[in-house]
Structure 1
Amino acid sequence: MHEGTPLRGCTVGVTAERKADEISALFERRGARVLRAAAMHTVPLPEDGELVAATEAVLAAPVDHVVAITGVGFRGWLEAADQLGLGARLREHLRSAELVARGAKARGALRGGGLGDAAWTSPTEESREVLDHLLSRGVDGKRVVVQVHGEPMAEFRERLRRAGAEVLPVRVYRWTDPVDLPALDRLLDAVIAGEVDALTFTSAPAAANALGRADRTGRGEELRKSLRGSVFVACVGPVTAAPLVAADIPCALPDRSRTAALVRLVSEQLPRWRAAPGS
């Protein structure tokens, strides 16, 4: 290992959309050759459509629980409400509810949005644990606001409904294929060809869409074979890793769900992983 540049001679794939420049620079500083390709694209929902209707539904009556799933999503909701002239009213309306955060970023968005600290934050940053917390509290007859990330979280919402809750989903953005789809195809081809040593993911939709894109283009099995054997796969946290784990693809996770920790993990473990017999 080269001191200061432990990734010299390694090629790292970066699939992030947000913070791609920052993550790539951190890897390059450690000597890596970086192949960048966003695996998904975040599309904010129109302010005059679904998000407005969801906000008005929340404001129609008092709410008992507010669930912040992602920091960027919850902040986006408050910012959209501000632009519509509903921000102050929405904040006042939500303050009387129990605030629940899926993780540290969502908790920070609650505080930063002027709502105060979360009454409970998931230690593992997993939606399943948030659901278990709400069900243990009892939600029969309660109005529960769920800030939904790009996936509809259908099972999460249905479990709450079956427990008697009125569920108010607030979807702030959705995910689509990346703007530069050919770049993603080139990265997948490089992984399959054995030209990538490590592939990194910072969001579950990116992981799911990378696999989905490979499936849609007839390369799904080849990609999975590479990710199960010749490529060191690293995810920023367990939520991000979930689509890969479901596909039986081993993933390395840092101790903390942060991009800097992800870069450190790859820097420390990839050289040893490449040197290990059979890698």
Structure 2
Amino acid sequence: MLSLEGKQIAFTGARKQDEVKQLVANFGGVAHIRPAQGTILTDEEEIGPAMRRVIAEGADWVIFTTGQGAQRLLDVARQSDMLWDWLRLLRTARVAARGYKTRKLLKEWAISPAVSDDDGTSAGLMRAFGEAPQLDGRKVVVQLHGERPERLLRWLEDNGAVVETLMPYIHVPPPESDIRSFLEELQERKFDAVAFTSALQVRYLFEMAGRFGMKEMLRSRLSGDVLAAAVGKVTAEALEEEGVAPVLQPSDQRIGSLVVKLARYFQTGSFDESQ
């Protein structure tokens, strides 16, 4: 039977804390939430008028890049008494979606994306569009995800799209004192593994580690005594770009699958899911 008995696992995402703790506890381990990014929802008075303008002007394509962002836009639409107008737009325009969580949310509202990625990345979404002749001269509304996906936006513009963006939330660094304490815990080998759920968490953590003169320590720990784990290909690539190897990641983008893979690794010592 798979087990995390006695294992201390740090998670750098702040969302669904109780669920994460219970998932790890189900395998006998202990989850420690150590947020490496903060999220601030865009004020309704700021995003609401932009959504009304999009509804009034219409759109040929609407691209959702995260489930959290898609949900925030639905929430603002409901709070601003324009939910049905927003849903009508999504059912008349063509919709593209990046990521499993985004597709799951849209399905709940009976919205079927015409285009979706196969790996949770913007690059995968671009591949799914193919040569993108359908974008030339078309108005494309892109839901941003805390930061501007410059590669995706540039690709859309290069293919002739008229791009408008909606920013339902922004990411901010966590308090420096919290990150310093987390880095000190890593230095003292208090965790058996650290699970990252976004590339931005990786970037913030390494950036702050550099400020504190602890970057080499962080890279060494995550490549040695402390197992680095990642949800999603983009997150894993961010760790690899920082020189961290190996990186454990599940075949899908779900936190539950990551916890199962952690339990399998600590039981077998192998990244191979067949063991």
TM over 0.5: yes
Change (3 A) 1:271 1:72: same
Q: TM-score, normalised by structure 1?
A: 0.87
Change (3 A) 1:144 1:134: farther
1:135 offset after TM fit, Å? 5.5
CA contact (8 A) 1:135 1:163 kept: no
1:107 and 2:117 are equivalent in the alignment: no
Gap regions ≥5 residues in structure 2: 271-275
1-structure distance, mates of 2:49, 2:186: 43
State the AA in 2 paired with 1:27. Answer: V
Provide, for residues 31-85 of structure 1, a one-character-per-residue CA deviation record: whole Å limited to 9, x for no partner: 3243321111211001112x13431342242311111111121011011012112
* Superposition pairs of residues 60-71 of structure 1, within 5 angstroms: 60-71=56-67
State the AA in 1 paired with 2:122. Answer: S
Show the counterpart of 1:230: 225
Aligned length in residues = 268
State the AA in 2 paired with 1:19. Answer: K
Show the counterpart of 2:18: 21
Secondary structure of the 1:174 match is: strand
* 1:245 paired residue among 240, 261, 268: 240
Q: TM-score, normalised by structure 2?
A: 0.89
State the AA in 1 paired with 2:198. Answer: S
2-structure distance, mates of 1:60, 1:77: 16
1:202 and 2:197 are equivalent in the alignment: yes
Gap regions ≥5 residues in structure 1: 275-279
* 1:46 paired residue among 21, 40, 43: 43
1-structure distance, mates of 2:67, 2:30: 31
2-structure distance, mates of 1:46, 1:242: 32
Show the counterpart of 2:273: none
1:181 offset after TM fit, Å? 5.0
* Superposition pairs of residues 71-220 of structure 1, within 5 angstroms: 71-114=67-110, 116-134=111-129, 136-138=131-133, 139-178=135-174, 181-220=176-215
Change (3 A) 1:273 1:189: farther
State the AA in 1 paired with 2:19. Answer: E
Secondary structure of the 1:63 match is: coil
2-structure distance, mates of 1:222, 1:12: 18
Change (3 A) 1:230 1:95: same
RMSD: 2.1
1:160 offset after TM fit, Å? 1.1
* 2:8 paired residue among 8, 11, 19: 11
State the AA in 2 paired with 1:112. Answer: E
1:190 offset after TM fit, Å? 1.7
1:126 offset after TM fit, Å? 1.1
Identity of aligned residues (%): 28
1:24 offset after TM fit, Å? 2.0
1:102 offset after TM fit, Å? 0.9
